[in-house]
Structure 1
């Protein structure tokens, strides 16, 4: 998921300097953010978003549930995540998404979803499920697109304003 081409031949010297300064700031903040986050949570990964910004992905686990969170390294970590997926174990084979929260349209949800699917594979869970509820219907098209993009089967009842999503691990 790492992108490398942040320096191109088309970039002028000033643009190149700006990109390198931005990268240097993000790497410094990443180092400080990782130290702070690791005091309370398990660091899962460091990734880049679609905007090529670096993020720290981390988790808090309980016996029957966990939360995967993400913090963007463009700013210092102050104890709050930028985006999160809250899930619970429904059975020996299924993880259920209770909620996805956070900043929209920055690629955070996609980074978190890839990590959730990786956890499902690592733990040999066959399914990831979730519900689409009435409060989601102001952005149901965006949700359907998001889940479809991540290979979920999406069923929506527009009349009843509800739905369900199911991802099945391929063998």
Structure 2
């Protein structure tokens, strides 16, 4: 049976104070961040952290970045996904940042939106030998986001592909 733990007054007050601080920081960070990048939106991580989603896009490369609302923006986000435009696809080059916070899922949602906005039907990428120590996590992540994942265990490499239907 599913039960929900009720929070006491002190826990609720701490949560409210944290949320108020994040909203204040969000205002400040958005103002500063908008000088460096295009602000795409705000989203919440799986740990209830508010994140500002932004991008720098020069028509050849697209970098989607997340900036948290718990610390001051100092010119760099806490997570990023870098992709390049290739013919009829966007090709993911690198994903940088801590795993298992939901940050990659936020970036992937916005990357797919960018692909749709540009009428690009595919998102592709490679799984390289350097990724092999966490390949199971990558397979889970990409399959969760409806990518076809092809892995060659002999060469410790692979590819990913998402097609918008």
1:58 counterpart (35, 54, 57):
54
Match of 2:67 in 1: 71
Distance 1:50 1:61 in 2: 26
**1:144 pairs with 2:157:** no
Per the alignment, residue 4 of structure 1 pairs with none
Residue 9 of structure 1 and its aligned partner are, at CA, apart by 8.5
Shift of 1:63: 2.4
Separation in 2, partners of 1:9, 1:159? 48
The structure 1 segments of at least 4 consecutive aligned residues displaced by more than 3 Å after TM superposition are: none
Aligned twin of 2:41: 45
Aligned match for 1:34, one of 30, 36, 46: 30
* 2:149 maps to 1:154: yes
1:95-123, Cα deviation, whole Å (9 max, x unpaired): 10011111211110000000001111111
| Greater Cα shift, 67-76 or 160-169 | 67-76
What TM-score, normalized by structure 1, do the two folds share?
0.92
Tell me which residue corresponds to 1:166: 161
Partner SS for 1:156 = strand
CA distance in 2, matches of 1:66, 1:10: 43
Corresponding residue number in structure 2 for 1:3: none
**What's the secondary structure of 2:133's corresponding residue?**
coil
Map residues 54-133 of structure 1 onto 2, 5 A cutoff.
54-91=50-87, 93-133=88-128
The gaps in structure 2 that reach 5 residues or longer are none
Distance 1:18 1:64, change over 3 A: same
Structure 1, unaligned runs of 5 or more: 1-7
1:29-73: CA deviations, max 9, x gaps? Answer: 101110110011100011111111100000011121110000111
Q: Tell me how far apart the structure 2 counterparts of residues 9 and 133 of structure 1 sit (CA, whole Å).
A: 43
State yes or no: 1:18 paired with 2:10: no
Quote the RMSD (CA, aligned, Å). Answer: 1.2
